[in-house]
């Protein structure tokens, strides 16, 4: 009997470890995609970008002078580009595709922290500091967060996760 309990415990612990490892890789993939869009836009502007991804964030460094308009474009390229790519992947793969999980996380990660203009250091905060209208930034944040939340709710509904909790 005790041997069965030890096996169950070991299985649960291994599953938690594996899910944590997979989750970490999804975060890294989304961060690299986000920083990749910054890098592409900065390179198109003639800069020499150096993208960097850290455990739960990233930063693209560059050596060149940018106008305020270029700062705005470069700052918003990461979250808007990665959000659009994630939305495309989520929408165009079937509901049983494993691609939808990182795509869903990509939408949430791109919109919630990165496009919130009141969060110091966020991409939208940088854009607002360089003259982007804050009210338009807020509308973009509401729109992208709403789409991401809708996608999350659709995913939950399609997976029947809540049906066991809700009696009809």
| DSSP per-residue letters across 33-68 | HHHHHHHHHHHHTT---EEEEETTEEEEE--S---H
SS3 59: strand
Digitized pLDDT (tens) for each residue of the chain, 168 residues in all: 577 788 888 888 888 888 788 877 887 888 888 888 999 999 999 998 887 766 666 777 788 899 999 999 999 999 999 999 999 999 898 777 788 888 898 899 888 889 999 999 899 999 999 999 999 999 999 999 999 999 988 888 776 655 666 555
> 3-state class of 53 per DSSP?
strand
Cα separation, 31 vs 106, in Å, equals 8
Domain ranges of the chain: 2-158
d(CA 11, CA 50): 41
Give whole-number Cα distances, 152 to 60, 95, 165, in Å.
29, 12, 17
Q: Which of 96, 98, 91, 93 is nearest to 147 (CA)?
A: 91
Helices 2-44 and 68-92 cross at an angle (nearest 10°) of 140
The model carries a pTM of 0.81
Q: Is the CB of residue 71 less than 8 Å from the CB of residue 125?
A: no
d(CA 41, CA 38): 5
């Amino acid at each position: 009997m005790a041997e069965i309990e030890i096996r169950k415990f070991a299985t649960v612990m291994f599953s938690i470890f594996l899910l944590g490892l997979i989750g970490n890789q999804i975060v890294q993939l989304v961060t690299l995609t986000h920083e990749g869009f910054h890098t592409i836009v900065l390179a198109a502007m003639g800069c020499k970008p150096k993208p960097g991804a850290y455990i739960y964030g990233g930063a693209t460094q560059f050596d060149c002078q940018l106008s305020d308009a270029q700062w705005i474009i470069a700052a918003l390229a990461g979250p808007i580009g990665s959000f659009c790519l994630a939305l495309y992947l989520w929408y165009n793969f079937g509901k049983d595709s494993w691609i939808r999980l990182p795509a869903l996380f990509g939408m949430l990660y791109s919109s919630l922290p990165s496009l919130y203009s009141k969060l110091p250091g966020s991409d939208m905060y940088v854009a607002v500091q360089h003259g982007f209208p804050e009210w338009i930034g807020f509308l973009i944040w509401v729109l992208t967060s709403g789409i991401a939340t809708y996608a999350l709710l659709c995913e939950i509904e399609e997976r029947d996760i809540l049906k066991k909790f809700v009696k009809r």
